[in-house]
Amino acid sequence: MPTYSSTANFDLSIDDIAEEAFERCGLQVRSGYDIKTARRSINLMLAEWANRGLNLWTIQLQEKSLAQGTTDLSGANLFGSGADAAQQIIDITDVVITDSSSNDYSATSISRSTYFNYTVKTTSGRPSQYYFERTINPKLYLYPAADTAYTLKYYALVRMKDSGAYTNNAEIPFRFLPCLTAGLAYYIAMKKSPDRIQLLKQIYEDEFQRAAAQDGERTSLFLTPKVYLPSA
């Protein structure tokens, strides 16, 4: 009888990914600087992914208490437990206000100008609108101010973790490893193998599109046909 593996925990360290990327460029990792430049390229690429909207798998559900009179949240009151934790947030979505009877109410996102044009921001009621200020120290503004205690629930899109030490494993889902490796090969080619730039860029873009397609939310598609009846 054939013997099969009983594990499914394959992963790659930053060192492994760098070696594979260098090999695709026709090169070998020969020094600590090669690993350093690869790690820097990975971190830049993760920032590129965030700019291209590849963030759904870094979504985290948050639940925070709202005291009566609350008009805004920041720092640890908004996200995580540390004073600087909220700096990880790129955006928030699906804001829900839950009352003491466990009833959920969706809040609507509004623009900065709409919020700051409200004359009396301390008007009390169940918060039904929010404005998220995307700054280094982000802040969530609520309107109206909470008239009693509530629970705030929302999904936070947070920054991807950087590559860290070369012995670390890449903190991304398994299916993104081909995209990460192809992207790093392209980034390295721009610095060390210009003759392979176009080929490796095309491979990277193909892998990125496949990864991004898998990363999107999948919902059922419903088509409602229109029926046109001849006029009498």
- The predicted structure's pLDDT at residue 222: 39
The three-state secondary structure class of 152 is strand
- The predicted structure's pLDDT at residue 158: 78
Angstrom distance (rounded) from CA 153 to CA 105: 10
- The predicted structure's pLDDT at residue 91: 83
- The predicted structure's pLDDT at residue 143: 96
Q: What six digits make up the tokens of 204?
A: 């990277």
- The predicted structure's pLDDT at residue 125: 96
Taking the whole predicted model, whether its pTM rises above 0.95 is answered as: no
- The predicted structure's pLDDT at residue 121: 93
- The predicted structure's pLDDT at residue 66: 95
Length of the chain: 232
Q: Locate all alpha helices (DSSP H) within 128-224, ordered by sequence.
A: 177-192, 197-215
In the chain, which residues have pLDDT < 50?
7-8, 165-167, 218-230, 232
Angstrom distance (rounded) from CA 112 to CA 65: 23
